């Protein structure tokens, strides 16, 4: 099965079984497969200067974020980028520096009223470019029914990978 066939099949058949949670698809992107989509609106978020904007975004998602939470995320290897319009973060992605050879594209989200405008592609491209520029393989894990993320990943050059159950257990949960 070609990657295009896989992506089409995944998008067409990604409804999870009703009694179980959708499976997780693990993807990777290398400098050979990456398709950059630079966007000048994307920038790194400063944990201090952008803290209130990040709190607002977390609240919009039904969660809270304290300054200690923010420091803990930073210490766990998370670095966030986003697009800010007005006084809100409209799209966000994180780089999770979880190993010496691979870093994860994580925490991708776009505010409800701003979807289907290319914002996720922009923040994901920015984060992936950073990962690859630092000599790491870019990885991404998402639910099989997360069709928008699968499409973004496919556009950027992410490919499905197989991870053994022991490797899967060795990684911490994605935030």
What residue spans define the domains of the chain? 3-170
pLDDT at 153 over 70: yes
Q: Are 128 and 156 in contact (CB under 8 A)?
A: yes
Question: What percentage of the chain reaches a pLDDT higher than 70?
Answer: 81
Residue 22 CB-half CA count within 13 A: 15
Label residue 4 by pLDDT band (50, 70, 90): very low
Distance CA 104, CA 36 (A): 17
Q: Within the chain, how many helices (H) and strands (E) appear?
A: 6, 7
pLDDT at 28 over 90: yes
Q: Which residues sit opposite 24 in a β-bridge?
A: 143
Q: Could you tell me the CA-to-CA distances from 36 to 11, 71, 113 in Å, in that order? A: 22, 30, 25
Tens of pLDDT, residues 34-49: 999 999 999 999 999 9
Label residue 20 by pLDDT band (50, 70, 90): low
Distance CA 61, CA 29 (A): 28
Q: Residues 95-119: what's their mean pLDDT?
A: 94
Tens of pLDDT, residues 52-63: 999 999 998 899
Tens of pLDDT, residues 69-99: 999 999 999 999 999 999 999 999 999 999 9
pLDDT recorded at residue 112? 87
Indicate the burial class of 137 (C-beta count within 10 angstroms; 0-12, 13-18, 19 or more): middle
DSSP state of 99: S
Label residue 9 by pLDDT band (50, 70, 90): very low
Distance CA 74, CA 58 (A): 16
Nearest by Cα to 139 from 38, 25, 41: 25
pLDDT at 170 over 70: no
Label residue 163 by pLDDT band (50, 70, 90): low
Distance CA 129, CA 127 (A): 5
CATH match of 3-170 with 3.40.630.30? yes
């Amino acid at each position: 099965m070609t990657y295009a066939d896989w992506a089409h099949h995944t998008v067409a058949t990604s409804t999870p079984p009703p009694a179980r949670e959708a499976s997780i698809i693990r993807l990777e992107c290398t400098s050979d497969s990456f398709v950059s989509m630079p966007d000048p609106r994307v920038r790194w978020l400063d944990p201090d200067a952008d803290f209130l904007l990040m709190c607002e975004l977390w609240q919009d998602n039904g969660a809270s974020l304290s300054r200690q939470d923010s420091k803990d995320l930073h210490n766990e290897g998370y670095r966030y980028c986003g697009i800010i319009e007005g006084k809100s973060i409209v799209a966000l992605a994180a780089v999770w520096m979880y190993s010496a050879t691979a870093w994860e594209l994580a925490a991708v989200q776009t505010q409800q009223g701003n979807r289907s405008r290319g914002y996720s592609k922009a923040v994901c491209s920015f984060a992936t470019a950073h990962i690859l520029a630092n000599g790491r393989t870019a990885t991404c894990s998402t639910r099989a029914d997360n069709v928008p993320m699968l499409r973004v990943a496919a556009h950027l050059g992410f490919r499905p990978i197989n991870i053994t159950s022991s490797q899967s257990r060795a990684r911490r949960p994605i935030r």
